[in-house]
Amino acid sequence: MTVPRSTLRLQFHRGFTFDDAAKHVDYFAALGISHVYASPVTTAEPGSMHGYDTVDYTQVNAECGGEAGLKRLADKLRAHNMGLIVDVVPNHMGVGGSSNAWWLDILEWGRHSAYARHFDVDWHSPDPALRGKVLAPTLGAPYGEELAAGRIALHFAADSGRFYIGYGPHVFPVCPIDYPAILQSADRADLSALAERFHGLTTQPADQPRAAEGRDMLREFVAQNGGSAIELVLESYSPADPVTRDRLHRLIERQHFRLAWWRTASDEVNWRRFFDISTLAGVRVERPEVFEAVHALIFRLYQEGVVDGLRIDHVDGLAEPREYCQRLRQRLTELRDTAPYVVVEKILGRGEPLRDDWPVDGTTGYDFMNDVGALLHDPAGAEPLGETWAELTGRSPRFTDEALAARRKILAENLSAELDRAARALHRIARDSLTTRDFTFTALRRVLAELVVHFPVYRVYPQNGLRSAADNVYFEQALAGARETLSRADYVVLDRVNAWLGGSAEEAPNVRGNAQSQQQGQNGAPPSHAGSARRTAQTLFSQLTAPVAAKAIEDTACYRYGRLLSRNEVGSDPGEFALSVAQFHAANLERSQRFPHAMLATATHDHKRGEDMRARLAVLSEISHDWSATLRAWSTLNAPHRRALDGKPISSVSHDTSYDWSPGPAAEAMLYQTLVGSWPPDLKPDDEAGVKELAERVAQWQLKALREAKLQTNWLAPDEAYEAGCRDFLFDILAPQRRNGFLRELSAFVARIGRAGALNSLQQTVLRLTSPGIPDLYQGTELWDFSLVDPDNRRPVDFAKREAWLAQTPPSEFLANWHDGRVKLAVVQRVLALRAHLPELLSQGTYLPLAVRGAHASSVIAFARRHGNAWAVVVASRLAAGLLGEEDDGSGLSMVDPAKWGDTAIEMPADLAGRASFDWLSPAAPKVDENGLLYLRDALSAMPIAVLVEDGVPRS
């Protein structure tokens, strides 16, 4: 297996192509990267900036340079002994426009389409209006209004010979069985003759080739005779006249799709979506033919050596993640002699293990990002910051309360249709038994909803219809929560649902009223379909808990709860405030033993705040009382700039905890944290252009945050007056005339915590580069990363600047000018060089936590990596705001004065006693005394972090 030494994530789109990346391969190599890690390369919706809306799995995205461009990039990487890892999206496809041929085919032919089973469509909806149809919730207003307004119309595509219903950019093919009626509507002999080609057609697969022949004749007819005859046909279905509009409506009603207002999706959609996004349709990759179709291009590129490894997106959306990973590994192994490198995007709860029976190399690193981020926080700040948050906002100090409310909201308003579908699966099981036939759909839905609401992790993974012991750890928590909220009358239903969802192998017999079936039930032989019905219900349950968790936690509660925003991150639990050194060591040890090649991330294309923004905000946990006082002072100072809900200015507002003013207490408190975290290190309050640029970025974040919170406004029904008031508030407090008021205070506060924030960043960086696993670098984060949520975190990267700043100078030489970020770049370059110089040391070396003693032992983390006779001892300052002291002029070093460490020392491995080790990050060579102690005043004399190396080479 080709295991990466380090990876660099790049976001490809039409503005940054494969050829653009190839221009910077020299830089990537000089930085020390071994593999470029690409966003999805398959064809996405035109103009996609992320690539996760795949419309064609069989072609490399032409907007990014196509297959030729991808191969040019791969060749350039090979020339530097580098490799390529690509992101694969097997869970869903983009269906929001007119580019997905598979989706268009099922719109045209319905359940007889060759791709009908490629997508997770419920063709047997209980709604008569949707039986055999696909809901198309794309209309901007109710269907009748859009039809009457003429925005829905019949069109003809001359290049393909197809009739289709058009709505804006959307295309809905008309089934060819309706072509005779359409063509005969113009009452022309030539068109009636063409109509004969389509007479007697059915939707059966055997008839579909005849339809293709007829369309070819139509295309030739138009090419030879012009489009005037077809125009007459279209006029007979014109929405402008009531008679022809009614004909158009009746034509639409006969199709295999139902055009609908976009707001119907949450309640009525009859196909699995990616979360609640109605432009992304779930793919049934568990079916062998679909699996092969989805991966055919990737398999070929892997076999040809273009691609070296895969990152699997949203593995929890799949019906059977375990089986998927096993099948993927097997197929890849068949294609090349070397074992493939495969990681999965998986959100893990605290203590939740990545399953051992998934043949993958680990996760994409959200778990590490959570661990190292929590390590930066002082646990003493949790309670006072929670109390301040509750006092200022009137909201709960506990994240669990926000999470529970958010789960209920998402389930009721965003994923109601998905809940209905899962409840129907359970209802079908119930109806198959005399003992449960009286369990109503409503009762089952109520019970199921409580299980989903209280589910503590993304999902479970039953095998052969039964949950494992690991699954039951989390399912029991959901059961306990459901019992607390359900009536006792529902307990019998809850117990049975527990069994059906994998809690018991016992299966009630299928009794339908006849003697033979009753005898079968008495003999205890379950019907042949019973196990399949249970597995269907289990799959639908798991494909419901995962999106509910994602939408409720990441996309709702994290925008409502603001105790400290540095803990509100993808893959994190904001309720878990801090992680101890011992807990961090334990997580590293487990990873080294179970998944030593997992990715280690601190920034991703999905992060809500840049890694250095989080590191700076974490400092607030160390000065919680000062920050609480600052919040109150700023709230008072800026009260005159608040707006009423209609966006108009108001002179003053009391500390009301309701949302009767803009932006409201919670949104305002989170806004101040965002400004503190994202303020560039060198930005001055009198820099009007710089402040305005920041304000525009924060305004973009603010709008998304307000809508994601789903309180005063949301994506479904935006309150534009409230949003405008919030934006006005932001621009008012950052206006040039505040340069001597709020802007000066904001800038001064950032300067005060800036050094501690930079120290946290360097600690986070060195831990990512030296912990067990494969360090992943997100594009551009070699320098300070104070980005906000997408699209801010996907802005263009100035790679030329970064390349120009590469140097062989020790990182310690750049510490004095830490504001420019070169010290971080130098640390990344230097430690990646170590990984290349002694590759086994950090990729395979034993992980040894080191004890620290002395007055400031709690402000240090240290561990050793050992491989053979080679050693690397990693030392980092932590929770050191109190040791740094005040900074007023911005010129201080981002490290603790060595003298302040006093007697603090690391208990070193016996093999290193009495020896000096070379610091990979500075000219220092601190010596371990004869008692095996390494004093921090020596180890951290030049930098707040150190990587002390003993390469095991005998010295003469």
The residue whose two tokens read 């302040």 is 900
Are 259 and 117 within one domain? Answer: yes
Residue 888: is its pLDDT beyond 50? no
Q: What are the pLDDT digits (tens) for 472-507?
A: 999 999 999 999 999 999 999 999 999 999 998 765
Query: How much is the average pLDDT of 214-221?
Result: 95
Residue 256 predicted with pLDDT over 50: yes
Give the model's pLDDT for residue 512: 41
Task: Give the tens place of pLDDT for each residue, 167-203.
Answer: 999 999 999 999 999 999 988 999 999 999 999 999 9
Tokens, residue 628: 């609480």
- Asked whether residue 388 is assigned to any structural domain, the reply reads no
* Residues 721 and 802 both lie in one domain: no
Q: Over the stretch 498-516, which tens digit does the pLDDT of each residue have?
A: 999 999 876 544 434 343 4
pLDDT tens string 701-714: 999 999 999 999 99
Tell me, what's the pLDDT at 334?
Answer: 95
pLDDT in tens, 686-697: 999 999 999 999
- At residue 414, what is the residue type? N
Mean pLDDT (whole number) for 115-143: 96
- If asked whether residues 358 and 432 sit together in one domain, one would say no
Q: What share of the chain is helix, strand, coil (3-state, %, to 5)?
A: 50, 15, 35
pLDDT of residue 887: 56
Q: Does residue 239 lie in a domain region? A: yes
Is the domain of 815 the same as that of 878?
yes
Q: Name the one residue in this structure whose structure tokens are 């939707």.
A: 203
b vs e for 62-80, b when ≥16 Cβ sit within 10 Å of the residue's Cβ?
ebbbbbebbbbbbebbeee
Looking only at Cα atoms, what is the longest distance across the chain?
105
**CA neighbours closer than 13 Å in the CB half-sphere of residue 585:** 16
Determine the Cα–Cα distance for residues 637 and 632; give it in Å rounded to an integer: 9
User: Are 175 and 108 within 8 A, CB to CB?
Assistant: yes
Residue 331 and residue 442 in one domain: no
Instruction: Assess if residue 225 is contained within a domain.
Output: yes
Rounded distance between C-alpha atoms, residue 275 and residue 281, angstroms: 9
Quote the CA–CA distance of 132 and 13 in Å, as a whole number: 37
CA dihedral 106, 111, 117, 118 (to 10 degrees): 0
Please tell me the distance from the alpha carbon of residue 614 to that of residue 757, in angstroms, as a whole number.
9
Confidence grade of residue 953 (pLDDT, cut at 50, 70, 90)? low
Domain boundary among 750, 767, 789: 750
Tokens of 617: 């905000």
Kindly state whether residue 540 falls inside one of the protein's structural domains. yes
One domain, residues 534 and 590: no
CA atoms within 13 A on the CB side of 93: 26
The two three-digit tokens of residue 708, written as one number: 């994601």
Q: Contacts from 574-578 at CB under 8 Å and sequence distance 24+?
A: 574/399, 575/398, 575/399, 575/400, 575/403, 576/350, 576/374, 577/374, 577/377, 577/379, 577/381, 577/382, 577/621, 578/374, 578/375, 578/377, 578/378, 578/379, 578/381, 578/382, 578/621
Nearest CA-CA partner of 759 in 883, 858, 599:
883
2 falls within a domain: no
As a whole number of angstroms, the distance between CA 730 and CA 702 comes to: 9
| Whether residue 465 is found in the same domain as residue 540 | yes
282-286, 513-517, 547-551: least confident range: 513-517
Do both 116 and 185 map to the same domain? Answer: yes
- What is the distance between the alpha carbons of residues 799 and 803, in angstroms, rounded to a whole number? 6
Residues in contact with 447: Cβ distance below 8 Å, sequence separation at least 6, in sequence order: 482, 486, 490, 493, 494, 497
Predicted confidence at residue 524, as pLDDT, reads 41
Out of 295, 330, 364, a domain closes at 364
Q: Residue 1's pLDDT is what?
A: 52
| pLDDT tens-place string over residues 303-337 | 999 999 999 999 999 999 999 999 999 999 999 98
Q: What's the rounded Cα separation, in Å, for the pair 9 and 345?
A: 14
Question: Residue 136: its pLDDT value, please?
Answer: 97
**784, part of any domain:** no
Q: In what order do the strands lie in the sheet with 309-312?
A: 341-344, 309-312, 83-88, 35-38, 7-10, 774-778, 599-600
Q: Which amino acid is at 696?
A: E
Report the pLDDT averaged over residues 814-832.
97
Mean pLDDT of 659-684: 94
For residue 419, tell me if it sits in a domain: no
What is the DSSP secondary structure assignment for residue 953, as one 8-state letter?
P
Of 11-25, 538-552, 624-638, 651-665, least confident by mean pLDDT is: 651-665
Last residue of a domain, one of 277, 305, 329: 277
Residue range 735-763: mean pLDDT, rounded: 96
How far is Cα of residue 314 from the mean position of the Cα atoms in its chain?
A: 8
pLDDT of residue 891: 52
**pLDDT score recorded for residue 651:** 53
Per-residue pLDDT, 262: 96
Q: Which pLDDT band holds residue 642 (cuts at 50, 70, 90)?
A: very high
Q: Convert the pLDDT of each residue in 598-630 to its tens digit.
A: 999 999 999 999 999 999 999 999 999 999 999
Reference 713, options 670, 673, 672, 662; nearest CA is: 662
3-state secondary structure of 618: helix
User: Residue 787: inside a domain, yes or no?
Assistant: no
Does 291 lie in the same domain as 270?
A: no
> Does 529 have pLDDT greater than 80?
no
Number of residues written out for the chain: 956
pLDDT recorded at residue 514? 40
Over the stretch 368-403, which tens digit does the pLDDT of each residue have? Answer: 999 999 999 999 999 999 999 999 999 999 999 999
Question: Are 302 and 255 within one domain?
Answer: no
Separation CA 468–CA 50 (nearest Å)? 36
Per-residue confidence at 889, pLDDT binned at 50, 70, 90? very low
CATH number at residue 82: 3.20.20.80
pLDDT for position 2: 83
Res 125: pLDDT: 92
Q: Write out pLDDT tens, residues 401-415.
A: 999 999 999 999 999
Pair 605, 721 in one domain: yes
Q: Which domain holds residue 477?
A: 424-559
Q: What is the pTM assigned to this prediction?
A: 0.94
- The pLDDT value recorded for residue 647 is 75
In this predicted model, what pLDDT tens digit does every residue of 7-61 receive, in sequence order? Answer: 999 999 999 999 999 999 999 999 999 999 999 999 999 999 999 999 999 999 9
Burial level of 413, CB count in 10 A (0-12/13-18/19+)? middle
- pLDDT attached to residue 645: 85
Helix (H) and strand (E) counts in the chain: 34, 25
Collapse the DSSP code of 84 into the 3-class scheme (helix H, G, I; strand E, B; otherwise coil) and give the result. strand
Whether the pLDDT of residue 145 is over 70: the answer is yes
Contact 17, 38 (CB under 8 A): no
Q: 886 pLDDT band (50/70/90 cuts)? A: low
Q: Are residues 662 and 623 in the same domain?
A: yes
Q: Please give the Cα distance from 36 to 454 (Å, whole number).
A: 39
Beta bridge partners of 956: none
Domain count along the chain: 5
Mean pLDDT of 74-90: 98
Closest CA to 249 of 154, 386, 126, 111: 154
% of the chain residues with pLDDT over 70: 95
Integer Cα distance of 485 and 449 in angstroms? 11
pLDDT (tens digit per residue) in 772-821: 999 999 999 999 999 999 999 999 999 999 999 999 999 999 999 999 99
Q: What is the pLDDT of residue 469?
A: 95
The enclosing domain of 807 has a CATH number of 2.60.40.1180
Comparing 565-569, 646-650, 807-811, which segment has the lowest mean pLDDT?
646-650
Query: At residue 655, does pLDDT exceed 70?
Result: no
pLDDT, tens digit (0-9, with 9 covering 90-100), for 750-778: 999 999 999 999 999 999 999 999 999 99
